[in-house]
């Protein structure tokens, strides 16, 4: 889920995105175990809820940092660059909407992580020139989002804004309010820490170590991993369930 590709990669940014990828895989393995009946506990409350929340926050925040790095490195890039990239990510988001609608009995993803990042790549363009002022705008979006979530509605077509329909369950729900605010916080933080696209602080020389190279590799290929991991996991769990039932029949 990289909103843009900078000509100068910063290993710590890729590694943080790679860490979010691993957290996503852990959560989705737990979700699949629940879905296939191997796990009886709740994955939407308690520690699992906060783990999921932290994972999404990491993805969205790093997307904002990456947007700033792209802007800082490429300068006054034309809007078309961001529009085309955002439209592509949005398109994949709507593919996920279609797939979840066809495969899940309930929980269709109307506006999830990919929808939000695609939207943000396009709509963050006028905010990029504001730099660190986005820290203030980001907090304002988050505050407004906390107010909107208290509003009960009966129609789903405004769910993308943060007005969640009553009694509508979505397995992934990342609306514009408050989550675009997290993107803006990422942009603002990037402007503070990477003015001009250059690191303004010192970090240990861990980038060449194997664990960090692995995390950076995952981060650089986050969109591909995001798109393919659930079909692979579902296939493995389905095959595992099939052979488990076959063995049980043979043992009877």
How many other C-beta atoms can be found within 10 angstroms of the C-beta atom of residue 228? 10
What is the per-residue DSSP string for 74-125? Answer: H-S--HHHHHHHHHHHHHHHHHHHHHHHHH-SSB--SB-HHHHHHHHHHHTH
pLDDT band at 201 (very low <50, low <70, confident <90, very high): confident
Q: Which pair of tokens denotes residue 3?
A: 């909103």
pTM exceeds 0.85: yes
Please tell me whether the peptide bond between 48 and the residue prior to it is cis, using omega within 30 degrees of 0.
Answer: no
User: What pLDDT shows up at residue 157?
Assistant: 83
pLDDT exceeds cutoff 80 at 1: no
| Residue ranges of domains in the chain | 11-251
Q: Which of 18-27, 105-114, 207-216, 242-251 has the lowest mean pLDDT?
A: 242-251
Q: Which helix (H) or strand (E) holds 132?
A: none
Cα dihedral angle (210, 215, 219, 223), rounded to 10 degrees?
Answer: 110
Distance CA 121, CA 213 (A): 26
Coil, helix or strand at residue 69: helix
Q: Looking at per-residue confidence, does 152 or 79 come out higher?
A: 79
Which tens digits make up the pLDDT trace of 8-64? 579 999 999 999 999 999 999 999 999 888 888 889 889 999 999 999 999 999 999
Cα angle 240, 23, 86 (rounded to 5 degrees) comes to: 105
Which tens digits make up the pLDDT trace of 155-200? 778 889 988 887 788 899 999 999 999 999 999 999 999 998 888 8
Q: Which pair of tokens denotes residue 195?
A: 């003015």
On whether the CB atoms of residues 94 and 100 are closer than 8 A, the answer is: no
């Amino acid at each position: 889920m990289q909103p843009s590709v900078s000509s100068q990669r910063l290993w710590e940014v890729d590694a943080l995105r790679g860490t979010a990828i691993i957290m996503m895989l852990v959560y989705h393995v737990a979700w699949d175990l629940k879905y296939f009946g191997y796990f009886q506990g709740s994955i939407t409350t308690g520690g699992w809820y906060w783990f999921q929340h932290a994972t999404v926050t990491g993805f969205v925040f790093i997307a904002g940092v990456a947007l700033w790095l792209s802007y800082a490195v490429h300068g006054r890039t034309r809007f078309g660059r961001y529009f085309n990239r955002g439209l592509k990510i949005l398109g994949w988001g709507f593919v996920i909407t279609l797939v979840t609608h066809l495969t899940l009995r309930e929980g269709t993803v109307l506006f999830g992580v990919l929808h939000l990042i695609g939207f943000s790549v396009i709509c963050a363009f006028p905010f990029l020139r504001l730099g660190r002022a986005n820290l203030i705008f980001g907090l304002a979006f988050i505050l407004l989002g906390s107010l909107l979530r208290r509003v009960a509605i009966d129609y789903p077509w405004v769910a993308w804004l943060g007005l969640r329909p009553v009694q509508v369950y979505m397995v992934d729900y990342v609306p514009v309010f408050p989550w675009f605010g997290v993107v803006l916080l990422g942009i603002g933080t990037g402007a503070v820490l990477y003015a001009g696209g250059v690191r303004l602080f010192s970090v240990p020389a861990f980038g060449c170590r194997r664990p960090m190279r692995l995390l950076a590799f995952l981060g650089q290929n986050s969109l591909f991993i995001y798109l393919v991991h659930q079909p692979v996991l579902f296939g493995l769990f389905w095959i595992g369930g099939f052979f488990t039932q076959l063995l049980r029949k043979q043992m009877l």
